[in-house]
A and B are shown apart, each in its own frame.
Chain A
Amino acid sequence: MNKIWLLARRELRERIGSGGFLFLSISGPILILLFGYLLFTYGGEGKQHWNVLIADPTGIMENKILAKEDVRISYSFADGYIEMEEFRDAKQFQNFDALVEINEKVLSNKTAFVFFRTKPSVRMQTTLQFQVERRIEEVMIKRFTKLSVREFRKIKQPLNVAFRDVNDPFDEASDMRAWAGFFFGLVIFIFILLFGMTILRSISSEKSNRIVEVLLSTVNPRELLAAKLIGIGLSAFIQFAIWVCVTVLGLYFMRAYMFPDMFDPSNSLLLRDSGSLVEYNEYLDLVFNRLQLSVILPFFLLFFVGGYLFYGALFAAVGASTGSENDGQQFVIPIILFLSSSVFAAYFCLSNPESQLSAWAHYLPFTSPASAMVKLFQGYAPGEGYKIWISLLILYISAVLALLLAARIYKNGILQFGHRLKLSHILKWFSRS
Chain B
Amino acid sequence: MLEIKEIYKSFNRNVALDDISFQVSEGEILGLLGPNGAGKTTLIRTINRIIEPDGGTIRLNGDLLSERHLSMMGYLPEERGLYKNMTVYEHAALLGRLRGMTKNEVNEKINFWLEKFEIVEWKNKRIEELSKGMAQKIQFICTVLHDPKLLIMDEPLSGFDPLNVELIIHELKELRKEGKTILLSTHNMRSVEEICDRVVLIHRSRKILEGSVSEIRYSHKKGIYGVRFKGNMIAFVNALWTGFELVEKEILSDDRFEVRLLMRGDNTFDDLLKTLIGQVRIEAAWEVLPSMQDIFVELVTDRKEANDE
Distance in angstroms between the alpha carbons of A138 and B82 in the assembled complex: 82
Q: Which residues of B sit under 8 angstroms from A337, Cβ to Cβ?
A: none
Q: Which residues of A sit under 8 angstroms from B86, Cβ to Cβ?
A: 10, 14
B243 adjacent to chain A (CB < 8 Å):
no
Which residue of the partner chain, among B50, B81, B82, B98, contacts A3 with CB atoms under 8 Å?
Answer: B98
- A216-B98 CB under 8 A given contacts A210-B77, A210-B79: no
Distance in angstroms between the alpha carbons of A428 and B50 in the assembled complex: 18
- Minimum CB distance partner of A219 in chain B: B98
Q: Separation in Å of the B102 CB from the closest CB of chain A?
A: 11
Q: Which residues of A sit under 8 angstroms from B116, Cβ to Cβ?
A: none
B75 adjacent to chain A (CB < 8 Å):
yes
Residues in A199-226 with C-beta less than 8 Å from chain B: 206, 209-220
Q: Which residues of A sit under 8 angstroms from B142, Cβ to Cβ?
A: 214
A417 adjacent to chain B (CB < 8 Å):
yes
Q: Which residues of A sit under 8 angstroms from B79, Cβ to Cβ?
A: 210, 213, 417
Q: Separation in Å of the B205 CB from the closest CB of chain A?
A: 18
A217 touches B48 (CB 8 A): yes
- A6-B73 CB under 8 A given contacts A209-B82, A213-B79, A417-B79: no
Residues in B94-141 with C-beta less than 8 Å from chain A: 94-95, 97-99
Q: Which residues of B sit under 8 angstroms from A215, Cβ to Cβ?
A: 98
B189 adjacent to chain A (CB < 8 Å):
no
Distance in angstroms between the alpha carbons of A14 and B98 in the assembled complex: 17
A7 adjacent to chain B (CB < 8 Å):
yes
B81 touches A210 (CB 8 A): yes
A82 adjacent to chain B (CB < 8 Å):
no
Query: Scoring B residues 33 to 48 as 1 if CB is less than 8 Å from chain A, else 0, what string do you get?
Result: 0000000000001001
B70 adjacent to chain A (CB < 8 Å):
yes
A415 adjacent to chain B (CB < 8 Å):
yes
Distance in angstroms between the alpha carbons of A217 and B70 in the assembled complex: 7
A415 touches B99 (CB 8 A): no
Q: Which residues of A sit under 8 angstroms from B81, Cβ to Cβ?
A: 206, 209-214
- Minimum CB distance partner of B73 in chain A: A217
A7 touches B84 (CB 8 A): no
- Minimum CB distance partner of B82 in chain A: A211
B12 adjacent to chain A (CB < 8 Å):
yes
Q: Which residues of B sit under 8 angstroms from A417, Cβ to Cβ?
A: 79
Distance in angstroms between the alpha carbons of A396 and B94 in the assembled complex: 32
A6 touches B83 (CB 8 A): no
B83 touches A218 (CB 8 A): no
Distance in angstroms between the alpha carbons of A95 and B85 in the assembled complex: 66
Distance in angstroms between the alpha carbons of A415 and B77 in the assembled complex: 12
Residues in B57-107 with C-beta less than 8 Å from chain A: 67, 70, 73, 75, 77, 79-86, 94-95, 97-99
Distance in angstroms between the alpha carbons of A215 and B98 in the assembled complex: 8
- Minimum CB distance partner of B79 in chain A: A210
B50 touches A211 (CB 8 A): no
Distance in angstroms between the alpha carbons of A213 and B50 in the assembled complex: 8
Q: Separation in Å of the A226 CB from the closest CB of chain B?
A: 14
Residues in A1-41 with C-beta less than 8 Å from chain B: 3, 6-7, 10, 14, 17
B82 touches A216 (CB 8 A): no
Query: Scoring A residues 77 to 121 as 1 if CB is less than 8 Å from chain B, else 0, what string do you get?
Result: 000000000000000000000000000000000000000000000
A213 touches B77 (CB 8 A): yes
The count of residues in chain A whose C-beta lies closer than 8 Å to any C-beta of chain B is: 22
Q: Separation in Å of the B240 CB from the closest CB of chain A?
A: 55
- Minimum CB distance partner of A209 in chain B: B81
Distance in angstroms between the alpha carbons of A214 and B86 in the assembled complex: 15
Q: Separation in Å of the A204 CB from the closest CB of chain B?
A: 13
B80 touches A214 (CB 8 A): yes
Q: Which residues of A sit under 8 angstroms from B51, Cβ to Cβ?
A: 415
- A415-B94 CB under 8 A given contacts A210-B79, A210-B80, A210-B81: no
Distance in angstroms between the alpha carbons of A215 and B48 in the assembled complex: 11
With a 10 A CB-CB cut-off, give which of A3, A14, A211, A417 has the most chain B CB atoms: A211
Distance in angstroms between the alpha carbons of A216 and B98 in the assembled complex: 11
Residues in B241-294 with C-beta less than 8 Å from chain A: none
Which residue of the partner chain, among A17, A209, A219, A415, contacts B84 with CB atoms under 8 Å?
Answer: A209
- A415-B83 CB under 8 A given contacts A217-B73, A218-B98: no
Q: Which residues of A sit under 8 angstroms from B48, Cβ to Cβ?
A: 216-217
- A428-B97 CB under 8 A given contacts A211-B81, A213-B50, A417-B79: no
Closest 7 CB pairs of A and B: A210-B81, A209-B81, A211-B81, A217-B75, A210-B79, A218-B98, A213-B77
Chain B residues close to A by CB (< 8 Å):
12, 45, 48-51, 67, 70, 73, 75, 77, 79-86, 94-95, 97-99, 142
Q: List 9 A-B contacts (CB under 8 A).
A: A6-B94, A206-B81, A213-B77, A213-B79, A214-B81, A217-B75, A218-B70, A218-B99, A415-B50
| Given A7-B98, A210-B77, A219-B98, 4 new contacts (CB under 8 A) | A210-B79, A215-B98, A217-B77, A220-B49
